[in-house]
């Protein structure tokens, strides 16, 4: 193995989470702290549990990824973040009720020490949430500068060598790209100073992080960093960015089943998906404007795996509908139902029914751990701009405008592992990903 020359993960890594009180965030933070104390297993984390095949033939071996890829150790992580509520991460974890109190109490002192910075929040972008712990300033540009100051202060106060920022807050209302705001960096900077409604809070966090030369991950489906001005900033600052929308639950199943239809050349007439969810995310998505953002993300999957232009006789007229219903009794226990109408030999009709009773935050938490560690690695590799090799983790992976995103979970897995091998200086990749096949 001839590993590429990259900076080693020495010193402390700060992880700043936007929305530190949320169910996903507190489950991620508490679980990571529990895992490093040996009080729980980081199940679902590729970086912590999975192996990777290196070499071929008699010299092939399959070590654990964490033993051969130069990623930060769990002991070196320091958590912080922002929220619209002042209470500690411990209070957030107890409120979320994802992990049992007895388990959370195993890292009670550590969680209580994690106090959020005041958040940049505007009710116009998230209508069903209200919180008092928020910043004020004359312009959005000034708010962005306050976030930059928080990042710098967090790094200095905790004697950190590196920082990653991850958006894990609620889904904002749908904002389409505007060529007068999002196309150029100069226009976007002007829009922040003029308080344009096309500049959302998540964009301010993203700009502040990237301008501070800190990697930024967008875990929600909002526009946030998925436009040319942010790409330009990331290139100029040599910062890796990636998003959007963590791939859990129902969409995870779609990225498994749709490739099966593609591989077997089975036709698809329609796919109806509905969910019930009772946590704060469900409350936010009860607003039609926020749901629109999520809907666009969820609807993007099938059409890019089953392309109507490729096989119109099989996938030329797919009816795809998605619904999410807020149902408080379920809290974080999401249930997703799918009705899938397919057809096969001689056009004969068939159906598939899926009932997935999942734990949204339990599925998402390991994604946050992997993404923060891998984006820190990407920064130390001097990677910049959109990191398509991390598509594995997202419902709606960011991609260049001129290319189709890869949604097939298995193709994404190959992309991820081949990039890891490349970073390690491995030659003779196995199962090379060929975009033409997908």
Domain ranges of the chain: 13-246+362-437, 250-360
Cα separation, 113 vs 90, whole angstroms: 8
pLDDT (0 to 100) of residue 430: 52
Q: Is the dihedral of CA 210, 81, 249, 421 positive or negative?
A: positive
pLDDT (0 to 100) of residue 386: 97
Q: Where are the alpha helices (DSSP H) in 227-359?
A: 228-237, 249-264, 280-285, 288-305, 312-315
Cα separation, 327 vs 325, whole angstroms: 6
For 348-421, where are the E strands, in sequence order? 349-359, 385-386
Cα separation, 337 vs 276, whole angstroms: 9
Cα separation, 80 vs 343, whole angstroms: 50
pLDDT in tens, the chain (438 residues): 455 578 889 999 999 999 999 999 999 999 999 999 999 999 999 999 999 999 888 888 999 999 999 999 999 999 999 999 999 999 999 999 999 999 999 999 999 999 999 999 999 998 888 889 999 999 999 999 999 999 999 999 999 999 999 999 988 999 999 999 999 999 999 999 999 999 999 999 999 999 999 999 999 999 999 999 999 999 999 999 999 999 998 888 999 999 999 999 999 999 999 999 887 777 777 778 777 766 776 677 888 899 999 999 999 999 999 998 999 998 888 899 999 999 999 999 999 999 999 898 999 999 999 999 999 999 999 999 999 999 999 999 998 887 888 989 999 999 999 999 999 998 655 554 444 333
pLDDT (0 to 100) of residue 343: 98
| Domains 13-246+362-437 and 250-360 are alike in CATH topology | no
pLDDT (0 to 100) of residue 432: 45
Q: In what order do the strands lie in the sheet with 385-386?
A: 117-118, 77-83, 13-18, 162-167, 216-218, 240-243, 385-386
Distances (CA, A) of 284 to 30, 37, 128, 357: 23, 34, 5, 20
- Domain 250-360 part of CATH 3.30.360.10: yes
* Cβ-proximal residues to 321 (8 Å cutoff; 6+ apart), any chain: 270, 271, 272, 273
Topology classification of domain 13-246+362-437: Rossmann fold (3.40.50)
8 Å CB contact between 406 and 435: yes
Cα separation, 178 vs 164, whole angstroms: 28
**Distance from CA of residue 41 to its chain's centroid?**
21
pTM: 0.92
pLDDT (0 to 100) of residue 289: 72
DSSP 158-217: TT-SEEEEEE-SPPPPP----TTTTSSHHHHHHHHHTT-TTS-HHHHHHHHHHHTT--EE
70: nearest Cα among 15, 13, 10: 10
Cα separation, 14 vs 288, whole angstroms: 35
């Amino acid at each position: 193995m001839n590993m590429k020359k990259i900076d080693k993960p020495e010193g402390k890594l700060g992880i700043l989470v936007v929305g530190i009180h949320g169910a996903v965030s507190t489950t991620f933070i508490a679980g990571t702290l529990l895992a490093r104390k040996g009080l729980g297993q980081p199940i679902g984390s590729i970086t912590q549990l999975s192996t990777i095949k290196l070499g071929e033939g008699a010299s092939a071996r399959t070590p654990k990824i964490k033993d051969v890829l130069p990623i930060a150790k769990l002991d070196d992580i320091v958590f912080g973040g922002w929220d619209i509520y002042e209470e500690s991460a411990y209070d957030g974890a107890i409120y979320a009720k994802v992990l049992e109190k007895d388990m959370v109490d195993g890292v009670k002192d550590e969680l209580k020490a994690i106090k959020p910075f005041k958040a940049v929040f505007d009710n116009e972008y998230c209508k069903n949430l209200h919180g008092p712990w928020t910043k004020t300033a004359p312009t959005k540009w000034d708010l962005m500068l306050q976030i930059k100051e928080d990042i710098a202060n967090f790094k200095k106060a905790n004697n950190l060598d590196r920082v990653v920022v991850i958006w894990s807050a609620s889904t904002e209302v749908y904002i389409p790209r505007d060529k007068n705001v999002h196309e150029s960096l100069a226009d976007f900077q002007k829009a922040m100073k003029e308080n344009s409604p096309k500049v959302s809070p998540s964009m301010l966090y993203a700009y502040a992080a990237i301008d501070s030369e800190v990697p930024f991950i967008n875990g929600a489906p909002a526009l946030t960093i998925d436009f040319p001005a942010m790409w330009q900033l990331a290139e100029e600052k040599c910062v890796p960015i990636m998003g959007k929308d963590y791939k859990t639950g129902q969409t995870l199943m779609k990225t498994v089943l749709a490739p099966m239809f593609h591989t077997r050349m089975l036709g698809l007439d329609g796919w109806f998906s509905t969910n019930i969810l009772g946590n704060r995310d469900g409350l936010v998505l009860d607003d039609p404007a926020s749901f629109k953002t999520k809907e666009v993300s969820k609807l993007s999957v099938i059409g890019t795996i089953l392309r109507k232009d490729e096989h119109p006789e099989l996938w030329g007229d797919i009816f795809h509908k998605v619904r999410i219903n807020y149902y408080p009794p379920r809290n974080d226990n999401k249930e997703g139902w799918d009705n899938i109408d397919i057809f096969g030999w001689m056009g004969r009709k068939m159906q598939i029914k899926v009932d997935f009773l999942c734990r949204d935050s339990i599925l998402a938490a390991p994604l946050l751990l992997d993404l923060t560690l891998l984006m820190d690695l990407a920064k130390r590799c001097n990677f910049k701009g959109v990191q398509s090799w991390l598509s594995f983790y997202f419902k709606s992976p960011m991609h260049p405008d001129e290319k189709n995103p890869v949604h097939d979970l298995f193709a994404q897995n190959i992309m991820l592992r081949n990039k890891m091998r490349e970073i390690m200086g491995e030659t003779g990749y196995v199962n090379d990903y060929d975009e033409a096949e997908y």
